[in-house]
């Protein structure tokens, strides 16, 4: 009779500090490209979108040469909203239609630079991890595992 294969014990995945830093870098690139501020500024920024002038024509478009300087304007080119340079969570909660319109405009204007930055980030972390594999393993073996256990690694 054939021997029964033993089931392998699955190890719980360890929290990787380098993977967390890489994810934070991606989040920073996305928030800077869409909201005009970083991750911290998005969550802690004040909601400062205010209406300057009501639009009589009702047609609105986004204008501005830089995405972080974009202002919501009416068809005559008059600014009707102020504070759209940096979108925060407070802005998103207080006036979602304006905040989403600004974020959409910023995303469309910054998609190529964001894609390049993300590709560079991926390449840098991949090559860096490969080059520094031995020193990272040594740090994990001698410092991290004895202090924090196998659930955390660099």
Q: Which pLDDT score is estimated for 68?
A: 45
pLDDT single digits (tens) 28-43: 999 999 998 999 999 9
Query: Is residue 61 helix, strand or coil?
Result: strand
Q: Which pLDDT score is estimated for 20?
A: 95
Q: Which pLDDT score is estimated for 46?
A: 85
Q: Which pLDDT score is estimated for 69?
A: 47
Enumerate residue ranges in the chain where pLDDT < 50.
55, 59, 63-70, 74-79
Domain boundaries, the chain: 16-153
Q: Which pLDDT score is estimated for 64?
A: 47
Q: Considering just the CA atoms, what is the radius of gyration of the chain in Å?
A: 24
Give the span between the Cα atoms of 105 and 108, in whole angstroms.
Answer: 5
Q: Which pLDDT score is estimated for 84?
A: 78
Give the span between the Cα atoms of 130 and 14, in whole angstroms.
Answer: 19
Q: Which pLDDT score is estimated for 133?
A: 95
Query: Quick check: 87 and 37 in contact, CB under 8 A?
Result: yes
Give the span between the Cα atoms of 103 and 112, in whole angstroms.
Answer: 15
Q: Which pLDDT score is estimated for 8?
A: 78
Provide the token pair at 39: 């991750």
């Amino acid at each position: 009779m054939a021997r029964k294969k033993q089931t392998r014990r699955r190890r719980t995945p360890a929290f990787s500090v380098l993977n967390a830093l890489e994810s934070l870098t991606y989040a920073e690139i996305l928030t800077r490209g869409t909201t005009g501020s970083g991750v911290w500024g998005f969550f802690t920024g004040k909601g400062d979108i205010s209406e300057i002038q009501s639009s009589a024509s009702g047609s609105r478009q986004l204008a501005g040469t830089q995405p972080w300087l974009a202002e919501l304007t009416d068809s005559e080119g008059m600014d009707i909203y102020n504070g759209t340079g940096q979108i925060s969570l407070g802005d998103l909660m207080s006036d979602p239609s304006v905040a989403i319109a600004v974020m959409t405009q910023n995303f469309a204007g910054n998609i190529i630079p964001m894609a390049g930055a993300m590709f560079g980030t991926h390449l840098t972390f991949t090559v860096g991890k490969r080059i520094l594999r031995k020193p990272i393993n040594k740090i994990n073996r001698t410092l991290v595992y004895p202090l924090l256990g196998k659930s955390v690694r660099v």
